[in-house]
Structure 1
Amino acid sequence: MQTNNEKQPTLIKHPIILDTDIGNDIDDTWALGYALKCPELDIKLITTATGDTEYRARIVAKFLESVGRTDIPIGMGKPDKWKGLRPQKKWIKHYNIQQYPGAIEENGVNAIIKTVSAFEHSNKRPKIVAIGPLNNIADLLSKKPDIIHESEFIGMHGSIRYGYGAQKGNMPEYNIVHNIEASKQVFSSKWKKTITPLDTCGDIILEGKNYEKLLESDDRIVQNILENYRIWAKRKNKRSSVLFDTVAIYLAYSDKLLRMEQLKLKVNDSGCTIIDPEDGQIVNVATSWKDKNQFKKMLVDRLTSQ
């Protein structure tokens, strides 16, 4: 039994930068909500990547403003030629990026550099959590190569032994394939890297009592997620879609529920993330679960907590 004189364990808060292609697959929206509910995470910056990065920034801005987190700055990455359908545009139909009360940085990569540099004399190293294609992150490495000594990389990328739908075998994964050259640049660097490949994030679906608990919640973050999910899916659902990116958020503060392997990985010309003992760089990889059901329960409990 704990006495009043005993100290509570100190909560370690990890400074993170979230780099996201929110507004494409809906899992980024779930991941953003989850990150906001993690007391272990101190979100210093959110940057948007690929395609219409202002569209993506508007989703982030409206989400943050609606939950009272306009203390978090938003950085817009360089747009590319992605021609997606903008499936969440209805949610931001009347939202102008200029109305966001917080800081908006038009150069997302410069914003990352500035944010990381603020920790130059700190004993903490920021974690760059990338849950989309690696356009911004490759640009970051080109602009500031020594960023690898000042931060850590965490990502939702690749496939090692299992692919989409838990199919056995290595296969190309979207976040890698969208920009193979950028992925090669990041994975060939000597950065401290941790990833969740499809092996561990490719079948995270909330259903049954877990999903019902979300439907019953009046939490504003949960409401934002479900509003976007209904718009994205164009129908009501009895379960979530695959929530790939939530596992990367978990890895930003813990890996206790996962089995990790140190693997030498390389991105090949086909966009596959292959084990290459000779030419690969060491990556800390979440290759399987110790308790996936516990992760799902924890995810729901956190999202619905007041």
Structure 2
Amino acid sequence: MLGRSASLPRTSPTSGTSGRTSPTFSAVSSRCQNCLPTTWRVCSSHGENGVDHLIPVVLDTDIGTDIDDTWALAMLLNSPELHLLAVVTSHGDARYRALLAAKFLESVGREDVSVGEGVADGLLPAGRRGQQAWLAGYVSADYDGPYRTDGAQLLIDTVMASPEPVCVLCIGPASTTAAALAMAPEIAVKARFVGMHGAVRRGYGGSPNPVPEYNVLADVAAFRSVLAAPWSVTLTPLDTCGIVTLDGDEYAAVRDANTAPMRSVMANYRAWAKSIGHPELAEQRSTALFDTVAVYLAFADDLLDMETIRLAVRDDGLTFESADGRPVNAAMGWRDLPAFRRLLIDRLAIESKRSIGP
């Protein structure tokens, strides 16, 4: 997601890849009535104390413009409730974004994850390549895992191949997700959507004035396609994700964590901060970590005040409540933001969770 002002386990699909396949992982052994698919989350008997049921995830991201997508990817990989099957990219330079995702995955030993270059169109220019310095000449052939140039088809293949319902986790403009829905509308029956989209009652930084949020504004038609699909939609709008930051001792705890995920996050953050002319940022505090809230919503919502609202979107990208809108599950407030920050720190400051299985 941009710097935001309007300014289970299964063999990965290999069709259209660079010729490499991911390992085959063992399936979950049994079903708990409190876990998937009834509640779309892992029950309290599982989770970090030995996960029996992993939520399969496809990530749709615009990693490489704002830095929070990179933080969110690290959190996702270190969340034991989730099993990342594929990353697809959207908006602007989809190849640059896919290569960033691939190199990050490789840096934490997760070459089992398929990577796909997605839809590169949208209504706004691609913007900065703030993490290009970290990419440093990395090319798709360097990724020792499945790499595809047909990201929308990769999303479709991954959803349709999964025996478990898949969480399509979108933390950027929904261009590739919308393309997949247009190509194969049936994926909505086998998936649910969790996204970082919109501003309903508040804007950036907790402002009382909602504004068009970037991920919607960048491709309004794509977001409308998401809302029109017959699947569950859960969103964190700016109302909740726009006020998540780390500073002081909390930030120092992750900045100084000598783990593979945080080494890669900090290398990217330092490159990004330098690219915007403020290298000191990376040593002092995080920017807004919008997308990490969407990762949390992929497996839990206890720390948030969730409401079912009817959401509509104007042509200019402004989202608003309307009697004619589409019902969505929206995180409209925090029950315990400090607890979320503690969870985020715990997830970021550990070594990457490897895939389960042989």
CA contact (8 A) 2:243 2:288 kept: yes
Partner of 1:67: 108
Q: Distance in 2 between matches of 1:136 and 1:154?
A: 14
Secondary structure at the counterpart of residue 262 of structure 1: strand
CA contact (8 A) 1:132 1:175 kept: yes
Q: Distance in 1 between matches of 2:58 and 2:130?
A: 24
RMSD, aligned CA: 1.3
Q: 2:132 aligns with which of 83, 86, 89?
A: 89
Partner of 2:330: 285
TM-score by length of 1: 0.94
Partner of 2:322: 276
User: Is residue 197 of structure 1 aligned with residue 237 of structure 2?
Assistant: yes
User: Is residue 230 of structure 1 aligned with residue 270 of structure 2?
Assistant: yes
Instruction: Find runs of 4+ consecutive structure 1 residues off by over 3 angstroms.
Output: none
User: Is residue 302 of structure 1 aligned with residue 344 of structure 2?
Assistant: no
CA contact (8 A) 1:187 1:267 kept: no
Letter of the 2:287 partner, please give it. S
Shift of 1:185: 1.9
Aligned residues: 295
Q: Distance in 1 between matches of 2:76 and 2:245?
A: 17
Shift of 1:301: 1.2
Partner of 2:83: 42
Secondary structure at the counterpart of residue 129 of structure 2: coil
Secondary structure at the counterpart of residue 245 of structure 1: helix
Partner of 1:103: 146
Deviations 1:72-120 (A, max 9, x none): 010110222633121110001131221101001110010011101112x
Deviations 1:114-172 (A, max 9, x none): 101112xx3x2100000000111111111111221110000000011001011113321
CA contact (8 A) 1:130 1:155 kept: yes
Secondary structure at the counterpart of residue 290 of structure 2: coil
Percent of residue pairs identical? 42
Unaligned runs of 5+ residues in structure 1 are 1-7
Q: Which moved more, 1:266-275 or 1:194-203?
A: 266-275
CA contact (8 A) 1:189 1:281 kept: no
What are the within-5 Å matches in structure 2 for residues 135-150 of structure 1? 135-150=175-190
User: Is residue 214 of structure 1 aligned with residue 254 of structure 2?
Assistant: yes
TM-score by length of 2: 0.80
Q: 1:261 aligns with which of 307, 315, 334?
A: 307
CA contact (8 A) 2:155 2:177 kept: no
Unaligned runs of 5+ residues in structure 2 are 1-43, 352-358
Deviations 1:223-249 (A, max 9, x none): 111111111111133100000000000
